[in-house]
Amino acid sequence: MARALGFTDEDLRRLAGSRSYDRGLGYLSAVSRLEIEETAITATVDGTDAYEVELTDGADEGLTGWCDCPYGQEGNFCKHCVAVGLVVLGQAASVPGQRASAAGRTKVLTAWLDGRTREELLTLLREHLADDRDWRRRLELRAATAGEDTGIVRERILSLLDTRPFARYGYVEYADAHAYAQQAAEAVTALRALTASGRASDAVEVSREALSALGRTYGEIDDSDGVIGDVAAGLAEAHLAACLAARPDPVQTAEWLVTHLLDDLNDATDIDLFTYHEVLGEPGLARTRELVVAAWQANPKGWAEKYLMERLLKADGGSTDALIAVHAADLAPNGHTHLVIAKELERAGRPPEALEWAERGLREAEPEWGPDGELVAFVCERYARTGRLADVVTLRRDLLRARPTLAAYRDLRTAARAAGTWRASERKRAREVLRAADAPTSGLRYGGSVLIDALMDDGDLDTAWQAAADGYADQRQWLALADRICGQRPADALTVYLRGIEPLRKQTGDSTYERMTELLLSARDCHRALGTQAEFATYLAALRADQKRKRKLMARLDRHGL
C-alpha cells in the first residue's frame, strides 16, 4: 500500500523559518510540472528564474528539500521548497494514489524488460546508443577496459577529462562543473576496472597521465562544490590501488610521487606521500627522503617543499627542534608561522617557549598583514589561563584599533566582560574607535559602517538608530535596523521601507520586482501594527497604477495578495 504524506504544514514552517515560509505562500501559483514519485517530489517554481525543486519524504529521515536557487544551493530549505510542499499538502488525499501509480509504472516497465528476448534488448540498446553520445562513450570505455588495447583505454580516459566541451571562454563555470564531474568520474571507474581485469601495470601509467591532465586544467574550473576535487581524489585512490596490485619499481615510484607533489599543478589532488609506504618499501622510502631533503634545501620557502619536509620529519619521528627549523626558515608576515611553531612546542611539553614564540609573532607581525587572528586567540587563551585578564583586554583593544572590524569588537567585548570592565569603561572607548574609523555622510552611502553593525550586535537599537540618522548607515543597514525595530517602532520602520521602495519604481527586472514585493509586505505589516491599513491601501493602489505596465511585477503582487 502506498505511503501517505510524512510531513505537515508545521514541518515546512520549521524547516524554512517563518520568513521563508511566509514568502513561500506567495508562490503557490508559480508551481508547475509537479511530479510525485514513490519517495521524491519534483517541480518547477517560477521565481527570479525557473527553479528546479526536489523534496524527499523519507520514512526514517523525514522531509528534506533541495532547490537550485542561490539560497537553496547554500543548503537552505527555501521559499520555493515551501511552495511545492504546500501545493502537495493541498492535494494530500490524492498523493497515495499517485505514489501507487508511480510504483505501478516501475513494476510494469521491469516486467516488460524481463520479458524481452536478448535480441530485442540489444535492439533497444543500439537505438539508445545512437541517440545518446555520452552513454555510448561510457560503454565504449567499458568495452575497451575488458579488451587488451591499452591505447584505446588511455585515449578514452583522457578524453573524459577534457574540459573543452564544457568550457566557455576557456573556463568551466559553476553551472557546468557538475556535468563535467559526472563525465570525469567515468575515468575513475575505468581505471578501477582496468586494475580489476588484471592490467594493474597499465592502470598505473594511465592514472598518472590522468592525474597530470586534470592538474593542468583544474585551475580553469569553478569547483565551488568540490565535485572535481572528489574526482581528483578518486584518480589518486585508483593510482594507489593499481600500485598495490602491480608493485611497480619502488625507486621510480618515489621519484614520480615527489615530482608530482612538488608540481604546481598538484592543487587538485591531496595525496599523502606516506600512504604509499607499502608500495615504496625501504628502497623507495630512502629515495623519497633523499629527494624531499634536497628539494627543501634548494627552496626552503616553497610551500610544497616545506610541507613534504614537515611530513618527512613527523613520519620519521624527527626532533621538535628540527621541525621548528623548517618552519623558522620562512616566517609568514602575519605571524601564522610563529603560531605553528608555538603549537609544536606545546605538543612537545614546552609551554613557556610556545608562549614566547607566539608573543614574538605578535611583535613581528607586519601591520598590513597581521597579526593573525588565530595567533591572537592563542595568546589570549594562555593569558586567561593564568589570570592575566587585563592583558587579554589590552591585546584585544590594540587589535580593534589596528583593525576596527565587527569580529574585533566582539572579541574585545567578550574579554572585557570576563574582566568586568565592559560596561564600566571599555564599551564607550570601543564605540569611539569605531565612530572615528568611518566618518558619517549625508549623501547616499555605499558600504555601511562597523559602528552600526556593532550597535545592533549589542542590541542597542536606539543608539544604532541615532547613529544611522547621523549618517553612519548604508541602505542594507537601514533595512536590517528597520526589521529589528518594526515590532516596537513600526512608524520609524515604515519610513525606511517606503524610502527603499522609491528608487525601485524606476528599475526593471525580476530581482527588482522581488525586492519591491518584500518591502511592500514589510510596509503592510507596519501599517497593520499602526492600524492604518486604509492608508496602505491608498498607497498600494497608487503604486500599482504607476507601475501597471510592468506585468511581471503585477503578477508577483497578485500572488502575494498585494
pLDDT tens digits, one per residue of 126-176: 888 787 776 776 676 666 666 666 788 888 888 889 998 888 788 888 888
Residue 198: inside a domain: no
pLDDT computed for residue 177 by the predictor: 86
pLDDT computed for residue 397 by the predictor: 93
Helix (H, G, I), strand (E, B) or coil at 440: coil
Asked if the model's pLDDT at residue 521 lies above 50, the reply is yes
Residue 480: inside a domain: no
Per residue in 503-519, pLDDT tens?
999 998 888 999 999 99
Q: What is the mean pLDDT of residues 411-427?
A: 92
Q: How far apart are CA 269 and CA 279, in angstroms?
A: 19
For 34, the grid coordinates are 509537479
Estimate to the nearest angstrom the gap between the alpha carbon of 53 and the chain centroid.
19
Strand order from edge to edge, sheet including 40-46: 31-36, 40-46, 50-58, 62-67
Phi, psi at 222, each rounded to 5°: -85, 95
What's the Cα-to-Cα distance from 4 to each of 41, 53, 57, 115, rounded to whole Å? 13, 20, 10, 32
Q: How many domains does the chain have?
A: 2
Q: How far apart are CA 11 and CA 49, in angstroms?
A: 26
- In contact, 251 and 279? CB cutoff 8 Å: no
Per residue in 173-223, pLDDT tens?
888 888 898 889 989 988 998 899 899 999 999 999 999 999 888 888 998
Nearest to 340 by CA among 366, 307, 300, 381: 307
Of 146 and 242, the one with more pLDDT: 242
Handedness of CA 143, 146, 150, 154 (dihedral sign): positive
CB burial of 379-399 (b: ≥16 within 10 Å; e: otherwise) equals bbebbeeeebbebbbebbbeb
Residues 6+ positions from 317 with CB-CB distance below 8 Å: none
> pLDDT-derived band of residue 2, with 50, 70 and 90 as boundaries?
very low
**Among 87, 114, 141, residue at a domain's last position:** 114
The rounded radius of gyration (Å) of the Cα atoms in the chain is 31
Residue 82: inside a domain: yes
Q: Residues for the chain: how many in total?
A: 562
Half-sphere exposure (Cβ direction) of 209: Cα atoms closer than 13 Å: 18
Eight-state DSSP code of residue 34: E
Residue 446: inside a domain: no
Beta strands 40-46 and 50-58 are: antiparallel
Q: How far from each other are the two terminal CA atoms of the chain, in whole angstroms? A: 43
Q: How far apart are CA 113 and CA 361, in angstroms?
A: 70
What's the Cα-to-Cα distance from 148 to each of 50, 180, 194, rounded to whole Å? 48, 27, 10
Residue 61: inside a domain: yes
Q: How far apart are CA 162 and CA 172, in angstroms?
A: 11
For 219, the grid coordinates are 585551475
Residue 35: inside a domain: yes
**Among 50, 84, 114, residue at a domain's last position:** 114
For 447, the grid coordinates are 558600504
Per residue in 32-44, pLDDT tens?
999 988 888 999 9
For 383, the grid coordinates are 593569558
pLDDT computed for residue 62 by the predictor: 81
Question: What is the domain extent for residue 515?
Answer: 486-562
pTM of the model: 0.55
**Among 57, 89, 114, residue at a domain's last position:** 114
Per residue in 464-502, pLDDT tens?
999 999 889 888 999 999 999 998 999 999 999 999 999
Q: How far apart are CA 303 and CA 169, in angstroms?
A: 31
Eight-state DSSP code of residue 3: -
Q: What is the mean pLDDT of residues 255-278?
A: 84
Asked if the model's pLDDT at residue 455 lies above 60, the reply is yes
What counts of helices (H) and strands (E) characterise the chain? Answer: 28, 4
Residue 399: inside a domain: no
- In contact, 56 and 39? CB cutoff 8 Å: yes
For 323, the grid coordinates are 621541525
Residues 6+ positions from 245 with CB-CB distance below 8 Å: 195, 200, 203
pLDDT computed for residue 50 by the predictor: 83
> pLDDT-derived band of residue 1, with 50, 70 and 90 as boundaries?
very low
Phi, psi at 55, each rounded to 5°: -110, 135
Residue 217: inside a domain: no
